[in-house]
């Protein structure tokens, strides 16, 4: 019997939920985003596998998705409540499996910790249980730690499973680009490439001191270890506690005046505060996100002088941050994130609920 980490990832989760309640959409290119109107400013939240074949993916502006989409494509509005309900049912089903520890890392994915001599059997049981209780399919990555389990899932999609361990790590991943590693985005990939590091094996063989100089003492070591597939293996089933609440809006028409920005920030900060108040915890820090036209995004924040449960203080902090914006530039998007004091025993995970009109 060995300890294993299983990464469960729901297949095309948002699109699958929509198809589940609209069976006539099965097999069609389905794109979910904003209010479902591709003529408005919004981004793709998810695209079905059929839509992805046309180069449509998450984060793409809906207008671009509409240009790529075939005539039979279906655009749908985001329905947060439906997805949260489906997520709750999925996680409850997995949590009920015998001998399993569950760590939620997103509304459509989680880690399972199991001790078994047949992890594939446990993965199959999990897939069957989720399908029977929700009608949704999932893929499962099997690993000897979280990093390998998370990466393994991509090889199992859709509706399958894949095992990735120290034994086959370099065979499977050695020649892959560093971008295929969990946690390596395009910017990090580019910085690694500047040092001649383009593949996973090259990252594993790289000079750690060089990486520390480039990324700092913590992340430099992390990236070097990532090249060998090293990472944490403990699945923590401590109930998740939100660290913060965010509200953001992409405006259909750019904001062009200081008054418009102040009005929007007042509304967003008030909404974020209300979400925090519902949790019964004081706000300790306020963050502002701005996207200038055409598409340059900046984020910054400030710590409050003391924790507060006063709406006016949170709004004032957001407005003070807003006063530092470049008022000569038009604003496409604004977001306010209110960070809360953590209760005793809270894990403080960075899984921030985000609500907004996108």
DSSP result, 95-126: HTSTT-EEEEEETTEEEEEEEES-HHHHHHHH
Q: Look up residue 329 and give its two tokens.
A: 């530039």
Question: What is d(CA 81, CA 89) in angstroms, rounded to the nearest whole number?
Answer: 12
Nearest residue to 98 (alpha-carbon basis) of 111, 115, 86, 110: 115
Question: What is d(CA 81, CA 58) in angstroms, rounded to the nearest whole number?
Answer: 19
Contacts of 354 (CB under 8 A, 6+ apart): 246, 247, 248, 335
Question: What is d(CA 161, CA 172) in angstroms, rounded to the nearest whole number?
Answer: 15
Peptide bond between residue 158 and the one before it cis (omega within 30 degrees of 0): yes
Question: What is d(CA 290, CA 296) in angstroms, rounded to the nearest whole number?
Answer: 8
Beta-bridge partner residues of 31? 47, 75
Whether 109 is a known active-site residue: answer yes
- Catalytic option among 50, 109, 248, 313: 109
Residues marked active site are found at 109
């Amino acid at each position: 019997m060995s300890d294993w980490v299983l990464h469960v990832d729901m297949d095309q989760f948002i699109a699958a939920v929509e198809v589940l309640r609209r069976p006539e959409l099965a097999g069609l290119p389905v794109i979910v985003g904003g209010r479902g109107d591709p003529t408005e400013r919004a981004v793709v939240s998810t695209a079905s596998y059929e839509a992805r074949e046309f180069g449509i993916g998450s984060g793409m502006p809906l207008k671009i998705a509409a240009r790529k989409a075939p005539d039979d494509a279906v655009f749908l509005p985001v329905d947060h409540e439906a997805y949260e309900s489906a997520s709750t049912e999925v996680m409850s089903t997995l949590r009920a499996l015998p001998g399993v520890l569950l760590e939620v890392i997103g509304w459509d994915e989680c880690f399972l910790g199991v001790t078994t001599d047949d992890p594939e059997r446990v993965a199959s049981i999990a897939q069957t249980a989720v399908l029977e209780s929700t009608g949704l399919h999932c893929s499962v990555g099997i690993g000897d730690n979280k990093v390998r389990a998370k990466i393994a899932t991509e090889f199992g999609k859709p509706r399958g499973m894949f095992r990735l361990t120290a034994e086959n790590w370099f065979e499977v991943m050695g020649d892959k680009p560093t971008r295929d590693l969990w946690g390596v985005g395009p910017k990090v990939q580019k910085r690694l490439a500047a040092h001649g590091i383009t593949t996973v094996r090259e990252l594993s063989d790289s000079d750690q001191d060089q990486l520390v100089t480039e990324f700092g003492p913590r992340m430099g070591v992390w990236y070097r270890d990532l090249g060998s597939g090293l990472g944490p293996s403990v699945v923590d089933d401590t109930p998740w506690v939100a660290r913060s609440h965010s509200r953001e809006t992409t405006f259909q028409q750019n904001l062009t005046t200081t008054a418009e920005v102040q009005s929007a920030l007042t509304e967003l900060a008030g909404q974020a505060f209300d979400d925090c108040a519902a949790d019964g915890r004081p706000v300790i820090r306020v963050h502002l996100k701005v996207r200038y036209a055409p598409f340059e995004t900046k984020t910054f924040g400030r710590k409050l002088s003391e924790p507060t449960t006063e709406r006016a203080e949170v709004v004032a902090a957001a407005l003070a941050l807003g006063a530092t914006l470049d008022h000569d530039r038009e604003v496409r998007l604004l977001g306010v994130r209110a960070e809360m004091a953590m209760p005793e025993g809270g894990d403080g995970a960075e899984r921030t609920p985000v609500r907004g009109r996108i």
